[in-house]
Structure 1
Amino acid sequence: MSTTRRPPYRRGPPATGYVRRGPMPADAAKPAPAAPLPLRKPVFTTVDQLRPQTHGHTLTARVLSARTVLDKASPQLGRTRVAECLVGDHTGTVLVTARNQQIDLVKPGTTVIFRNAKIDMFKGTMRLAVDKWGRIEVTEDADFQVKEDNNMSLVEYELVDVVEEED
């Protein structure tokens, strides 16, 4: 057996001290400008089409009521506010969890557009929520009557593990 030592195997970028030899190719100096991607048109959904654990919803709804659930001040985070708002369209209603600045947008009687909203589960029921990747926009009044007798947040869901049988 040899007793000479091997240098250790290195991962990642080369150690400091390495320098590029020769001039940089002219075409590598400036990357080619990328063609802008065309924006997709939003696909609007309705309240009755919402399902648990889904995301990316865009919908227009009228705010029926808003109730503050939490209003707390903390030295690290500042002021934390959470409100539950009942919103609906011509197919049904659902509860929305609004946080901090979102509460100022979802006032009763206003019509709002939820963009990139997701469905969170709370005690087995659905709540519509908009996180940092989504947006709530106040828009002009919609011309639909809210169907208040179909509240999707009153339906309870249960998470069930499915075991696949092997033949």
Structure 2
Amino acid sequence: MKVGDLKPRSNATLTVKVVSAGETKNVTNRDGSAHSVADFLVGDETGSILMSLWDDNIGKVNAGDVIDITDGYVSVVRGSMRLTLGRNGKMQKSDKTIDNVNAQNNLSNKTVQEERRGFGRRRY
């Protein structure tokens, strides 16, 4: 799979190059637990996307690294697509090379309509 083929709320297995790392932020979950999160711009020759990494995974990659993502997930955060590892995803450094990343086709810059969740009222 290539970055340009990614769709909202879909699984993703692909190889990407890390273009840049964003600032690490500290967040608190609803249950009160503290976590760190950082967004990395990753991509291939077909496009780029922000990838959110959490806690221990943040320090595992640097700009310029090529990584294999297995069973990742494309989430939608405030109308923007993000690649994440999700619950079952794995990430490891790759022996493949990616020379050029198409940063012009940044999927995270495109607005995605979010589906409404929950039950609506039925009218009979």
TM-score, length basis structure 1: 0.62
Aligned to 1:46: 2
Identity of aligned residues (%): 27
Aligned to 1:107: 62
How far, CA to CA, are the matches of 1:116 and 1:88 in structure 2?
16
Between Structure 1 and Structure 2, how many residues are aligned? 114
The one-letter code matched in structure 1 to 2:97 is A
Structure 1's consecutive aligned runs of 4 or more residues displaced over 6 angstroms after TM superposition are none
Deviation string 1:25-55 (CA, Å, 9 cap, x unpaired) is xxxxxxxxxxxxxxxxxxxx00010011112
For the Cα contact (< 8 Å) 2:73–2:83, is it kept in 1? yes
Which sits farther off after the overlay, 45-54 or 62-71? 62-71
Residue segments in structure 1 that go unaligned for 5+ positions in a row: 1-44, 162-167
Structure with the higher fraction of residues in strand conformation = 2
TM-score, length basis structure 2: 0.82
Residue segments in structure 2 that go unaligned for 5+ positions in a row: 117-124
Deviation string 1:45-103 (CA, Å, 9 cap, x unpaired) is 00010011112x11101000111241369xx74x6210000001010100000001111
For the Cα contact (< 8 Å) 1:92–1:151, is it kept in 2? yes
For the Cα contact (< 8 Å) 1:110–1:141, is it kept in 2? no
How far, CA to CA, are the matches of 2:98 and 2:50 in structure 1?
21
